[in-house]
Structure 1
Amino acid sequence: MPPIFTPKPTPPLVLSFAASDPTGGAGIQADLLTLASMGCHPLSVITALTVQDTAGVDEILVIDSEWVMDQARMLLEDVPVAAFKLGMLGSPESMAVIAEILADYPDIPVVLDPVLASGRGDEFTTDDMISAMRDLLIPQASIITPNSHEARRLALFDSDDDDMDLAACAKHLIDLGCEYVLITGTHETTPRVLNSLYSLDGHVQTDAWDRLPGSYHGSGCTLASAIAATLAYGQEMPLAVREAQNFTYETLKAAFRPGMGQYIPERFFWAQDVQTEGNA
């Protein structure tokens, strides 16, 4: 009698909406690598194509919003998703259709990484896109993960006042409707990087990390995707955020520089350790 085939349990499925990055450092490629490394099965909806290298972005081709919607709807009618992750979304029209999709799945956690510019400073957003993000996506987000510059810009809409208190920014963003805000401190001048989590009740926790040398391409994408992975496994938000930071920090410590630009986080740092031990 042939053995009975027992299918393996399906890992948590996480759907990422993001632009393609040919370097594999950021964007959808960063999301896929991070989610896979953390034991999830990544699903993807491409929102834009880019011409870029490890130094910066030269051109962006935005995907039509109907294509964005069709990519997502076909997936969601077939498979159950445990978390959504939103990165660079391309246009206000795409943000609108994504918001419509999210509204149909109110019980699924949403991680919003408000990508406003590249590490070099290449602008990704218009005022209309920021307005759409504030009006349509932030109210549906379980957590948003801006760096300090992004937090100030989102809180003030058209200003980047470096003197604005980050706790006040967080309160303003929470008032827009999201459940949590994690403001990362890589762009601040503090001796250590301070990442602070806020909720409707105020400050939740601050985690401090040693500043690492170099400039990294895709660290924000990695962190947001790692939070989506931990939420997909059912963790509560404060622990999910802390574990995602631990993962991201390890990827940055193991980062490599394949070209003439920024370093790329090594999302499979643990596999490199295993290989090193096996060759010892």
Structure 2
Amino acid sequence: MKAILTIAGSDCSGGAGIQADLKTITMHGLYGMSAITALTAQNTQGITSILEVPPDFLSKQLECIFQDILPHAVKIGMVANSTLIEVIAYYLDKYRPAHIVIDPVMSATTGSSLNSTSSKEALITQLFPLASLITPNLHELQQLSFNNPIHTKSQMLECAKELSLHTGKPILAKGGHLEESASDLLYLPNGTSYWFETEKINNPNTHGTGCTLSSAIACNLALGHTLPISIQYAKDYVTGAISDGLNLGYGNGPLNHCYKIQQV
């Protein structure tokens, strides 16, 4: 069985972060492992507190994982400070897993800010050079592409191109916040682009969508699919999880990661 490692924050309400990733990995029939970067007190209504993991403890988590069960793919989500990013970059550079998907979590679906200016710079200079794919949503893409406005697909294309040229990496710009559609764009450093067209689903419960998509992509890459196919399969999975219509909590509720399992 192939193993997938998620390096991210914990969501005590189960909708995003480590919890969403492990559910997604399990639903792809793979073995999930986790290294926790932060504990969060959050639910469908927002984040109330974040407790960052000490760098030496994150280092011990990663050392235990890589020395024993080398992951076939790694997904990186919320990393709250530059020191933790340095720790992650060290182990990724040392052990060189085949696939690294980075979801540059700078804000939650609930609107809460998760990253500092220093961690943004560390992401760009230390983690992005190791990535197989970077998956910003439109708000994150705007911050990473020098705050260019993004309201249309043409602006989305220009910003994804700019970030890809700057990093030399494939960029998956997630268009869930577009007004006219929920289309995503894969832009490759060689100038090739792919649009993944999806109509908006009438469901306000989308907590953890970005975490789920990036971990599903990592799973499909580990299974041997190409990058475009991995993204399409991951989008199909997320679309099904949103379309299921799960309704939990008083705010922006989670997806149903286990929608393919028949309830009894």
- Residue number in structure 2 paired with 1:62: 52
Which of 1 and 2 has greater Rg?
Answer: 1
Task: Tell me the CA shift for residue 255 of structure 1.
Answer: 3.8
CA contact (8 A) 1:140 1:177 kept: no
DSSP 3-state at the match of 1:51: strand
Please give the residue correspondences for 1:78-227 in structure 2 after superposition, counting only pairs within 5 Å: 78-156=68-146, 159=147, 161-162=149-150, 165-190=155-180, 192-213=181-202, 214-227=204-217
* Distance of 1:195 and 1:203 partners within structure 2: 14
Closer, same or farther in 2 for the Cα pair 1:133/1:271, shift >3 Å?
same
By how many angstroms is 1:176 displaced? 3.5
Give the alignment of 1:39-50 within 5 angstroms: 39-50=29-40
Q: Which amino acid aligns with 1:51?
A: A
* Residues matched between the structures, number: 261
**1:52 paired residue number:** 42
Instruction: Give, in whole Å, the separation in 1 of the partners of 2:10 and 2:91.
Output: 21
Contact kept? 1:197, 1:205, Cα under 8 Å: yes
**1:139 CA displacement:** 1.3
Gaps of 5+ in 1: 1-10
Aligned equivalents of 2:165, 2:85: Cα separation in 1: 20
Partner secondary structure for residue 183 of structure 2: strand
Shift of 1:111: 0.3
* Structure-2 separation of matches of 1:205 and 1:161: 21
* Alignment partner, residue 7 of structure 1: none
Aligned-pair identity in percent equals 32
Secondary structure (helix, strand or coil) at the match of 2:48 reads strand
Question: In the aligned structure 2, how far is the partner of 1:117 from the partner of 1:147?
Answer: 9
Cα deviation 1:22-81 (Å, max 9, x = unaligned): 111000000000000011111000000011111110100000111111101111101121
CA shift, 1:178, in A, is 4.7
Contact 1:255 1:264 in 2 (8 A): no
Shift of the alpha carbon at 1:106? 3.1
2:228 is the counterpart of 1:238 = yes
Contact preservation (8 Å) 1:54, 1:259: yes
On the 8 A contact 1:18/1:28 being kept in 2, the answer is yes
1:25–1:120 distance in 2 versus 1, CA, 3 Å: same
1:3 alignment counterpart: none
User: Which residue matches 1:4?
Assistant: none
Q: Name the amino acid aligned to 2:176.
A: T
Q: Over aligned residue pairs, what C-alpha RMSD do you find?
A: 1.5
For residues 126-145 of structure 1, give each alpha carbon's deviation from its aligned partner in whole angstroms, at most 9, with x where no partner exists.
11111111111111110011
Question: If the length of structure 1 is used for normalisation, what is the TM-score?
Answer: 0.89
- How far the C-alpha of 1:160 sits from its partner, in A, is 5.6
Letter of the 2:236 counterpart: N
Asked if 2 retains the 8 angstrom alpha-carbon contact of 1:27 and 1:221, the reply is yes
In structure 2, the residue corresponding to 1:271 is in which secondary structure? coil
Contact 2:71 2:97 in 1 (8 A): no
Q: Give the TM-score taking structure 2 as reference length.
A: 0.94
Which stretch of the first structure deviates more once superposed, 34-43 or 208-217? 208-217
CA deviations over 1:114-167 (Å, ceiling 9, x no partner): 1111112111011111111111111111001111111111111xx363368222
User: Quick check: 1:143–1:178 contact (8 Å CA) kept in 2?
Assistant: no
What CA distance in whole angstroms lies between the structure 1 residues aligned with 2:226 and 2:97? Answer: 14
Contact 1:139 1:176 in 2 (8 A): no
